[in-house]
Chain A
Amino acid sequence: MSDLNQEMAARYKNNFLKEIEEQAEMGEWVKMCMQCGLCSGSCPTNFHSGWDHPPQEIFMLIRAGKREEVLNAQGMYMCTSCYNCYVRCPRKVPVTHVMHGIAEYAYRIGRAPKNQPTMHLSKTFWTNATKHGRVNEVQLTQSLYFKDGIGAGIKKAMEMQKEALGLVKAGRLNPMEALGMGHKCKDVKGIHAMLAKAEELEAKNKAAKA
C-alpha cells in the first residue's frame, strides 16, 4: 500500500463517506443518492462481467463505510462516459463525474489496478492528445493495439486491415500520422501553456484539501 493510501485511511478513520466527499471530485454528491437504481437501469454496458458494483451499490458501499470494497471495486473504471445516468438521475447526481472522481482518487492514492484497460486508454489518449493539441489517430490506435505485446498487436492490426484501408481511401485516415506528421493544433505552445496552468491550479486545489 502506498503511503498516501495509509495516510488517508488514518486521517478519516472510519468515515469513508467524508473521505470521498473531501477528496474525490464530485464526491459530495454521494450522500444525495436515493437508491432508486435508475443509473444502473440506464447503463448501456448492461454490466458485463467486469462490473462488480453498479453505481448505486458503490454509493451505498461508501455510505456504509466499506473502504476496502470500494477501492478494490472495478465498477468506476467500467464507465464509458455515455452520460445516460447523468441525464436521467432524478436527484440530478452527476453519476458519471462521481464515478470518474472515485476512479481518479483511487489512482491518486495508488489503489487503481495495474494495466486497467480503461485507465490505460485514458492515459494514452491524454498523452497523445496533449502532445500536439489534436489526437494522432494512428499512433493512438498503435499504442492500444500493442498494449499487450507485439504478437497481439500484429494480430489485431491484421484483423483491422480492411477497415484501415477503407478509411485511408475515403480520406479519413492519414498514414503519415504514423511518423508523427498529420494534423496539429495551430498554437501548440498556447495549448501547452494552458494545460500547464490548469495542472497548476488543480495541484493547488488538491493541496488545499490534503
Chain B
Amino acid sequence: MAETKTAAYICKGCEIGTRLDTAALVKTATKSGKMNIVREHDFLCSAEGVAMIQNDIDNEGVTHAALCACSRRAKTEAFNFPTIAMSRGNLREGVIWIRPDTDAARETTQEMAEDYVRMACAEVKAMTVPPGNQKTGTVKTLLVVGGGMSGMTSALEASKAGYKVVLVEKSAALGGWAAKLHKRVPTREPFKSPEDNGVADMVARIEADSNIKAYLNATIAKTDGAPGRFKVDIAIESGAIAQEDVGAIIQATGFTLYDANKLPEFAYGKTPNVVDQAGLEALAKAAAAEGKPIRRPSDGQPVKSVVFVQCAGQRDATGKHLQYCSGFCCNTSIKQAMYFKDSNPDIDTVVLFTDLRTPGNGEDFYRAAQNKGVIFSKGVVSQVVPSGNACTVKFKDLILNEDTEAQADLVVLATGVVPNSGVNIDAPVAAPAAAPAEAAEGEVAGEVIATIAPESILNLTYRQGPDMPQFKHGFTDSHFICFPYETRRTGIYTAGPVRRPMDILQAQEDATGAAMKAIQAMENAGLGKAAHPRAGDLSFPTVRLEGCTQCKRCTVECPFGAIDEDEKRFPLFNESRCRRCGTCMGACPVRVISFENYSVNTVGSQIKSVEVPDEFSEKPRILILACENDAYPALDMAGMNRNEYDPFVRVIPIRCLGSVNTIWITDALNGGYDGVMLMGCKHGEEYQCHFVKGSELGRYRLSKVGDTLKGMNLETERVHDLEVAITDIATLPQKINDYAALIKSFPPSPFKGF
C-alpha cells in the first residue's frame, strides 16, 4: 500500500471566503489538522478546483483528502474521487448559512468553522478506502416461493428482464387463489363487468418460458448463504431433495382466508347455504361448467336472493377476530353480486356494508353494480338464522337506525385474509402450541394453501430464525413508509398479500417491483456493494476476533440477520446480507467491529479534535450525533433556508442511531463537552428508520446512559435523544436552541481542561 499523504482543501466559494477568515482555516488545517498539503481555492467544485485535487492525487500521491466546503450531501458528482479516502467539512450548510452575518456572531462562527476543519482532518486520517466485499457470489438466478398471481408475475417479469427463475409451488398446480376464481374484478376500461381470471394464460407463458424452472408439489427444505450465493434445498414430491443455487429470493406465499368457522353467529357450517367468498367462487365455477344458474347448496334450487355480509370477522374491535381490512373483499362481493345480476336481473342481491372500500378503479365497478340493480345497504349484520332452505339475515340499518332483517337463499361472508408468513421468529420461544390456530383444514373447495403453516416457509439457516420477521398482524415486515419492497433480510423480498392485504392488481404490481428489487440486489451482491439504502456502498464490517468476548450482541441485534455464529461461537459476518447500518458496531461493548470508512475511531477522533474552551469562556460545546438519513439532511435544509441555530453545537453525521457506540458519549462528556444531543428517526410501530430497528436499538442502548451520567455526577438531561424526521426543517433549529439554552442553564462541565 502506498504511503499515506494527507491534504486539506478550503473552498472560498458560496461566500465562505467573505464570511470566514480562510487564511486562519488554512492555518488550522496545517497546525491542528497536521495535513501534509493545505490549499485554498476560490471555487473548489469548479472544473479547475476538481482538477487541482485530481492533480494532487495523481502527482503528489495524496491518499487522504479533507474537503472543507459544503455539506457531504452536496456536489457529490464533482467531488468523486473513488481511489482516495475523503471527508467533508461542512462550512456552508453547517456554518455560514445557519449563522447571522453580524460582527457579534463573527467570532463564534469562525470558531465553528475551525472546528469543522479539524473534524474533517481528524476523520479522514482515521479512514481507509473500502475495497468492496470480497466474499461475493455471482449467481443471477431468482428463486420465487409461491406460484400464485404474485409469484407467477415475479417469475415472468424477472424472465423478461433476462434472468433465470426457479419457481417453487407447494400445491399441484400454479395459479393460487386466482385459479379458483370464476372470474376476476375487471382490470380494464370500462370496469363494468367481471373478466376472465387470466391464470391459464399466465401458466401457459410460464410453461413456455425457458428461463423459468417450476417445481410443483414442492417446498423449501433449507435456505443457506447470502445474496448472490444462496443454496436452496427444495423438497420435491418424490421425497428427494433438489438443490438450486440462487442469487435472490422472492417470497410470494400469499394468504389463507380467515376461517369462517370462527363466526358461529353467521351460521357458517350449520347450513350449506352460508358460504365464504371462496365457497361462492366454487359454486359459480361449478354452475358455469354446467351452463346453469348458481344453485342453492341445500336443495339444488336456483338462487333467487343472496345477501353479502361484508367485514365478516374483519375490522373487528372486540379483539376476537381480524382487526384489519383485507382490502379486496368489497370489490369481490360486487363482482360476485354481478355473477347473479348478469345471469338474471330478477335475482335480489343485497350487499350489507359499513364502509364500502373499492380501491383502484373499483368505484366505477361499484357504480356499474348499482346500475345493474345490486342493492347496497349500510348495515351491520348481527346474526344469520337458517330456516329450512332459506336464511334470515338480521342486521342493523345504520342509515335508518333500526334493527331489521332480510331473507336470502344464499349468504356470502367476506371473511378476509390471514398472511402465510411462516414462523413468527420474534414470538416468545415457549409458545409453539399457541401458534395460530388457523391450522384447521378448511372445508371450502377453494382451500389450496390449506393451512397457515406454523412450520417454516423458507427454513433459513440464519441465526435469527428460519423465516422473515413479521410486523403488525403477522404480515411480513417491510419498510412501509419509505421503501415498501425492502424487508429485513437482504436479497429476500416479500411480495403480494403476505406483505399487506391487497388485491390481484396490487399484488402484480408489488410482485413486479419485488422482481426488479431482487435483480438489483443480485447485481449489487455480485459487485460486493451494499443494497438499499446505502446502495453502492463498498464498505463492510470487519471484526477483530481476537478482541471478541462472544457476547452475541451483534448477532442478536443486527436488524437484517446478517451475522451468524461459527462453531466456536464467534460472530460470522455475511457481508452480502449486510446493509452497512453499523448497528453491530454500536452494540459491540469491546469495540472490535468497524468499517473502513466508518468506525468508532472516525467519529471518536472527530469528537476529540474539537477545541473545548475552558469553563470561564462561557462557550459551551454541544455534540450532535445526527442520523445521516433524516436528521442530517434536515439540518442541511435548515441551512439552505437560513434557519439559524446555536453556534456552540458541533454536528457529526452517523449512519444510524443504531451505530452510536456509548463510548462516544462518555468520551465527549469526559472531554469537557457540556451536552450530547442524538438525532434519530422515529421507531416503533410507525418507524421511519431506514434500517428498521436501528433507531430503536440505539435508543434502548442510550436509555442506559443515565447511570453513566449519574456516576460522573452530571445532570442526566445533558444527554438528549431527539426524534427527527426529514421534514422537521423549520422546527429543528428551535429544538437545538432550546436544548442549548438548557445546557447553558447548567454549570459548565467539570471535565473541561482535563
Which residue numbers of A lie inside 8 Å of B, CB to CB? 17, 31-32, 34-35, 56-57, 60-61, 63-64, 91
Any chain A CB within 8 A of the CB of B371?
Answer: yes
A60 to B400 Cα, complex, angstroms: 7
Q: Tally of A-B residue pairs with Cβ under 8 A?
A: 32
For chain B, the bracket of interface size reads: 10 to 19
Any chain A CB within 8 A of the CB of B366?
Answer: yes
In the assembled complex, how far is the CB of residue A66 from the closest CB belonging to chain B, in whole angstroms? 8
Report yes or no: B356 in contact with A34, Cβ–Cβ below 8 A: yes
Interface centre among B367, B375, B377, B399 (most CB of A within 10 A): B399
Taking A31-B373, A35-B376 as known contacts, 11 extra A-B pairs with beta carbons closer than 8 A to each other, sorted by chain A number, are A32-B367, A35-B378, A35-B399, A60-B377, A60-B397, A60-B399, A61-B400, A63-B375, A63-B376, A64-B400, A91-B367
Any chain A CB within 8 A of the CB of B343?
Answer: no
Write out the residue numbers on chain A whose beta carbons fall within 8 Å of the beta carbon of B367: 32, 91
In the assembled complex, how far is the CB of residue A16 from the closest CB belonging to chain B, in whole angstroms? 12
Closest B residue to A17 by beta carbon equals B375
Report yes or no: B400 in contact with A57, Cβ–Cβ below 8 A: yes
362-377 of chain B: CB within 8 A of chain A: 366-367, 370-371, 373, 375-377
Write out the residue numbers on chain B whose beta carbons fall within 8 Å of the beta carbon of A56: 399
318-367 of chain B: CB within 8 A of chain A: 356, 366-367
A92 to B376 Cα, complex, angstroms: 17
In the assembled complex, how far is the CB of residue A29 from the closest CB belonging to chain B, in whole angstroms? 10
Secondary structure of the A contact surface, majority rule: helix
Please tell me which one of the listed residues A32, A57, A64, A91 contacts residue B377 in the complex, with CB atoms under 8 A apart. Answer: A64
Write out the residue numbers on chain B whose beta carbons fall within 8 Å of the beta carbon of A60: 377-378, 397, 399-400
Report yes or no: A32 in contact with B400, Cβ–Cβ below 8 A: no
In the assembled complex, how far is the CB of residue B397 from the closest CB belonging to chain A, in whole angstroms? 7
399-437 of chain B: CB within 8 A of chain A: 399-400, 404
Closest A residue to B372 by beta carbon equals A31
Q: Could you pull out 16 A-B pairs where Cβ atoms are within 8 angstroms?
A: A31-B370, A31-B371, A31-B373, A31-B375, A32-B371, A34-B370, A35-B376, A56-B399, A60-B377, A60-B378, A60-B397, A60-B399, A64-B397, A64-B400, A64-B404, A91-B367
Which residue numbers of B lie inside 8 Å of A, CB to CB? 356, 366-367, 370-371, 373, 375-378, 397, 399-400, 404
Closest B residue to A53 by beta carbon equals B400
A32 to B397 Cα, complex, angstroms: 18
Report yes or no: B366 in contact with A34, Cβ–Cβ below 8 A: yes
A60 to B375 Cα, complex, angstroms: 10
Report yes or no: A32 in contact with B404, Cβ–Cβ below 8 A: no
In the assembled complex, how far is the CB of residue A192 from the closest CB belonging to chain B, in whole angstroms? 40
A63 to B376 Cα, complex, angstroms: 8
Write out the residue numbers on chain B whose beta carbons fall within 8 Å of the beta carbon of A63: 375-377
In the assembled complex, how far is the CB of residue A114 from the closest CB belonging to chain B, in whole angstroms? 27
A35 to B353 Cα, complex, angstroms: 11
Write out the residue numbers on chain B whose beta carbons fall within 8 Å of the beta carbon of A61: 400
In the assembled complex, how far is the CB of residue A39 from the closest CB belonging to chain B, in whole angstroms? 12
Closest B residue to A21 by beta carbon equals B373
Closest A residue to B366 by beta carbon equals A34
In the assembled complex, how far is the CB of residue B1 from the closest CB belonging to chain A, in whole angstroms? 70
Write out the residue numbers on chain A whose beta carbons fall within 8 Å of the beta carbon of B370: 31-32, 34
In the assembled complex, how far is the CB of residue B337 from the closest CB belonging to chain A, in whole angstroms? 13
